[in-house]
Amino acid sequence: MSRPMPTVHGVRRLEEAAGRVVEELDLEFSNGERRLYRRLLAQGQGAVIVVAMPDPRTVLLVREYAAGMDRYELGPVKGAIDPGETPEQAANRELMEEAGFGARRLDVLKPLAQSPSYMTHTAHVVVARDLYERRLPGDEPEQLEVRRWPLAELGALMGDPEVSDGRAIAALFIAREWLQEETG
Amino acid sequence: MSRPMPTVHGVRRLEEAAGRVVEELDLEFSNGERRLYRRLLAQGQGAVIVVAMPDPRTVLLVREYAAGMDRYELGPVKGAIDPGETPEQAANRELMEEAGFGARRLDVLKPLAQSPSYMTHTAHVVVARDLYERRLPGDEPEQLEVRRWPLAELGALMGDPEVSDGRAIAALFIAREWLQEETG
């Protein structure tokens, strides 16, 4: 039913500036069509997006300066997995650093790709529950504003122009679907 | 209520290989903390993610080779906006190229960021309805498989490991919320 994978005739490493590694793939598709594709290899262990819930109906959002867009972005806690950390450990640490909470219960859901056609970067969606107050110092330049939002009102949240990160939005909806299935 | 934006003390262009432009921002946050941030400037006019509906309960998905992940990815039609095109025109052209349909009705919803902390890249979510058969030749190496999925069952779709693109998933949920509000 599914189409066979393209044949890889070769992989060439094109080293670039600032530690980035770009690869060129020489591919032949099942119809005989041959193409060169480039992709960017992720550095590090990936990332986590943390849907943290102080109660079963509410999600914690943080407001953080986003240099790419040069404005504040409102969304779930997120950050890179440090060497040696599990996704659960990274999620709990980032939650303490960015929102001032720890979680006694962490569920790792789906990995999300940032740009599957060009990048190998992925981020795990993690649902954090049974929260308790605990702050760890992070590397943020300022303490982040924390806001609470009803999980039932994600549609209204989409009207906020400060909510724009595709993976963060996907994480919120995926967590909501998963929680709905869990509670039946 | 909202925190003031950081003061920009300077912007420096760091030119890199392969036409990429990286900028360094010298920022001072409202608490006096000063930091350098890097960001990647998008080339081109942005992109569209097309939630195309052959009927009010069904969405069209295409299965396309994704070099970043080196596997097939299943998701809505998407592509870059060409110079001179509106998002509606780009959405209709990509729909004809990738799925073999045109749309008489196109609604542009929210712009999504790919990585707001590091990139300026955005993609518009476009809902396409009143479809008719029409194929345009695209630049894809092979004709894409087209699948139909019930919009009510996005939760089950999340169980498919070929569905991983954060922005594409966000687009599907955002379109569903918007359509629910529209129909009341």
pLDDT single digits (tens) A46-89: 999 999 999 999 999 999 999 999 999 999 999 999 999 999 99
Query: Cβ contact (<8 Å) for B155 and A177?
Result: yes
Closest partner CB to B141 (pick from A35, A116, A121): A35
Q: Distance between CA atoms of B46 and B38, rounded to whole angstroms?
A: 20
Q: In the structure encoding, which two tokens stand for residue B163, read together?
A: 């569905």
Mean of pLDDT values over B80-91: 97
Query: Cβ contact (<8 Å) for B177 and A166?
Result: no
Q: Distance between CA atoms of B47 and B125, rounded to whole angstroms?
A: 9
Mean of pLDDT values over B109-125: 92
Listed range (A3-12, B27-36, B53-62, B145-154) with the worst mean pLDDT: A3-12
What is the b/e burial string over A26-65, where b = at least 16 CB atoms within 10 angstroms of the residue's CB?
Answer: ebebeeeeebebebbebeebbbbbbbbbbeeeebbbbbbb
- By the 8 A CB rule, do B39 and B120 touch? yes
Q: Taking the model in full, what pTM does it have?
A: 0.94
Q: In the structure encoding, which two tokens stand for residue A103, read together?
A: 């979680």
Q: Number of A:B CB contacts under 8 A?
A: 193
Q: Looking at this predicted complex, what is its ipTM?
A: 0.93
Residue A43: the pLDDT is 84
Residue B71: the pLDDT is 93
CA nearest to B123, candidates B110, B139, B140: B110
Residue A20's pLDDT band, with cuts at 50, 70 and 90, is confident
Residues 6 or more apart whose Cβ sits within 8 Å of residue A175: A51, A59, A109, A125, A127, A151
- Asked if B146 is an interface residue toward chain A (Cβ–Cβ < 8 A), one would say no
- Find residues 78-117 of chain B whose CB sits inside 8 Å of chain A: 110-117
Residue A9's pLDDT band, with cuts at 50, 70 and 90, is confident
Q: Where are the beta strands (DSSP E) in chain B?
A: 7-15, 21-28, 34-41, 47-52, 58-66, 71-75, 77-80, 101-113, 122-133, 145-150
- Asked if B37 is an interface residue toward chain A (Cβ–Cβ < 8 A), one would say yes
Taking the CA of residue B86 and the nearest CA in chain A, the distance in Å comes to 20
SS3 A62: strand
Taking the CA of residue A128 and the nearest CA in chain B, the distance in Å comes to 19
Mean of pLDDT values over A168-174: 98
- By the 8 A CB rule, do A101 and A54 touch? yes
Taking the CA of residue A164 and the nearest CA in chain B, the distance in Å comes to 5
Tell me which chain A residues have a C-beta less than 8 angstroms from the C-beta of B175.
none
Listed range (A9-13, A81-85, A103-107, B36-40) with the worst mean pLDDT: A9-13
Taking the CA of residue A21 and the nearest CA in chain B, the distance in Å comes to 12
- By the 8 A CB rule, do A95 and A102 touch? yes
Residue type, B110: K
The dihedrals phi and psi of B172, each to the nearest 5 degrees, come to -65, -45
